[in-house]
Homo-oligomer: A and B are copies of this chain.
Amino acid sequence: MPSTRSGPLTGEESSALVLFSGGQDSTTCLAWALSRYQRVETIGFDYGQRHAVEMEVREPVRQRIAGLSAEWSRKLGPDRVVSLDALGQVSISALTADLPMEKRPDGLPSTFVPGRNLVFLTFAAITAYQRGLKYVVAGVCETDFSGYPDCRDDTVKALQVAINLGMESRLVLETPLMWIDKADTWRLAERLGGQGLVDLIVEETHTCYLGDREHRHAWGVGCGTCDACRLRAGGWSRFRG
C-alpha cells in the first residue's frame, strides 16, 4: 500500500489510533489526527492513582472536541481504556516492597516505571493492528521532557521497526509534538481548532501531577506549582505573551 505524504490519504491508509490521556498534549494530538485522517479512534491506559483524574476528563474532552466540527464528529470513532495493573507489578515499589506508595519529590507516583511508554506504544500498536488503523499517534516530546528516554525520537523509531517486524505490519508511529515546545503546542492547537480548541484545552484537559481540579487559571486547571503546571503555564505565557 504505497502512500506519499504529499497527497491526501484515503481508506484504510487514512485511519489512526491516538494515545489519549485527557491532557493538553494528547488532546492536541487528537485534534491533529482528526484534521488529517478519515477515521480516528482513541486509547488510554489506566494504571495508577494520578491518572484517575485524567481518566475522568477523557470523555468530556472527546465529546467537546467532536462538537467543534461536524467533520471531526463524523471521523471520531470509539474510545477504549486498557487496565495496565501489570505496570504496578513490575514497578520498583512493587518489586522491592520497601518504597511507600506516595509521590516522589518530582511529583511522579512511586510506581513510575522506566520504559512505560514502550509498553503503551506496543499495546497501542497491537490494538491499531487489530482494528485496521494504520497510524499510531502519541504526544511524546523531546523538547520539554528530556528526562524520559522512552519519549525520545530514537526510541520511537526503533520501536516502530521492532513492532512492524513482530507483527508483520506496516504501522506508523506519529509524534507530532516531538520537536516543539509547550508554546508551540498551544499554537498548534489554535491552528488546528481555533479559539474553540484552545478554550477546550484550557477548561477540560488535565495536566496537574497533584490531580488538582479546583484552581482555575488562564492556562487551565491545576495546582499551579507542580512541574507539569509550571510547564503548561510557561508555554501559555510565551503563546499569549
Contacts and interface: CB of A to CB of B under 8 A. Distances in A.
A154 interface: yes
Contacts of A85: 83, 85-86
Nearest to A119: B122
Q: Is the interface of A mostly helix, strand, loop or mixed?
A: helix
Interface stretch (A161-169, A200-208, A223-231): A161-169
Contacts of A89: 80, 82-83
A44 to B, nearest CB: 12
A95 B127 contact: yes
**How many copies of the shown chain assemble into the complex?**
2
Contact of A149 (B95, B131, B166): B166
Interface of A: 80, 82-86, 89-92, 95, 113-115, 117-119, 122-123, 125-127, 129-131, 149-150, 152, 154-155, 158-159, 161-163, 165-169
8 contacts: A85-B86, A113-B126, A114-B166, A114-B169, A118-B162, A155-B165, A158-B158, A158-B161
